[in-house]
Amino acid sequence: MICLLTNDDGLTAQGLQELRRQLEAMPDVQVFLVAPERERSAASHSITLHKPLQVREVSGPGERSRAWSVSGTPADCAKLAIHALLPERPQVLISGVNCGSNLGTDVFYSGTVSAAIEGTILGIPSLAVSLSDRTAQDFRLAARVAWQLARQVAERGLPPWSLLNVNVPPGQPRGVALTRLGNRKYRDIFDRRLDPRGHTYFWLGGDALEVDNEPDTDVWAVQHGQVSVTPLRLELTHQALLQELAGWPLERLLDGV
């Protein structure tokens, strides 16, 4: 199995390196790492167009895999790896293991999920894996979940334009749940400050709000100690609304043109 690893926490992040160590111990797995040179959390699916990407190959003693740090975003890393760096196409892409959850509406901001989305766009079966603990020091179980599922993905494949978003709870999981995206909201706080020259700037912070979620959602599953596996698809068209819009007088949009 040829496996591409990436993330949004940076090449030296514990979750990525633990996953690397576990995969390197398997003689039938060839591992490549292409990850940001620094943390790029919440980078979403941004790509770098207006400046060059700086790439540096990094290797450590005893490491079997090749690794590159990239000055860009997680989506940059996936795109660059598949098009320019790897000697052949990977059979699976794993983004993670992220430090902190990516639940519900988090997926629209997450660099972790966006790297997996980019892999999906480029035709690589992909999954994003997160450990729902921002203070985590032990990623061994989450990394094991990641590669165990990656093996199944590589063997069975995924439908076109589809990926898996996986969240592992802290501690010992009580089971695995197939879930849909839940509701995740935050109390957005913009801290207004002044820089040394007297110019105003804002720093975004805030905590997650308690929101009721149904038992079949990823948020509920993780809160109740389960590993959540959520299939996502990139087809965002609202089919019911598309049919409704067919009855609107849209030709009036061009009145007077």
Burial of 42 (0-12, 13-18, 19+ CB in 10 A): middle
- Token pair listed for 81: 């790896």
pLDDT, the chain, mean: 95
Examine residue 206 and state whether it is found in any structural domain, yes or no: no
Contacts of 57 (CB under 8 A, 6+ apart): 66, 67, 68
| Nearest-angstrom CA–CA distance, 113 and 234 | 12
pLDDT digits (tens, 9 = 90+) for 186-210: 888 899 999 999 999 998 887 877 7
User: Residue 83 has what DSSP assignment?
Assistant: I
- Token pair listed for 22: 């576990």
Examine residue 83 and state whether it is found in any structural domain, yes or no: yes
Q: Give the model's pLDDT for residue 186.
A: 81
Examine residue 252 and state whether it is found in any structural domain, yes or no: no
Contacts of 11 (CB under 8 A, 6+ apart): 33, 35, 36, 37, 58, 67, 68, 69
Q: How many domains does the chain have?
A: 1
* Residue closest to 182 by CA, chosen among 117, 139, 232, 136: 232
| Nearest-angstrom CA–CA distance, 185 and 206 | 10
Q: Give the model's pLDDT for residue 214.
A: 93
Q: Give the model's pLDDT for residue 61.
A: 67
Polymer length in residues for the chain: 257
pLDDT digits (tens, 9 = 90+) for 57-110: 997 767 889 999 999 999 999 999 999 999 999 999 999 999 999 999 999 999
* Overall average pLDDT of the 104-122 stretch: 97
Examine residue 236 and state whether it is found in any structural domain, yes or no: yes
| Nearest-angstrom CA–CA distance, 98 and 10 | 10
Mapping DSSP to helix (H, G, I), strand (E, B) and coil, where does residue 219 land?
Answer: helix
Q: Give the model's pLDDT for residue 208.
A: 79
User: E strands along the chain, which residues?
Assistant: 2-6, 30-36, 55-58, 66-70, 92-99, 126-131, 162-168, 175-178, 189-194, 200-205, 226-233
Q: Give the model's pLDDT for residue 76.
A: 98
Examine residue 254 and state whether it is found in any structural domain, yes or no: no
Q: Domain range holding 173?
A: 2-183+213-245
pLDDT digits (tens, 9 = 90+) for 164-181: 999 999 999 999 999 999
CATH number at residue 149: 3.40.1210.10
Helix, strand, coil shares, percent, the chain, to 5: 30, 25, 45
Contacts of 254 (CB under 8 A, 6+ apart): none
pLDDT digits (tens, 9 = 90+) for 126-162: 999 999 998 889 999 999 999 999 999 999 999 999 9
Higher pLDDT, 124 or 207: 124
On the question of pLDDT at 2 being above 70, the answer is yes
Examine residue 257 and state whether it is found in any structural domain, yes or no: no
Q: Give the model's pLDDT for residue 53.
A: 97
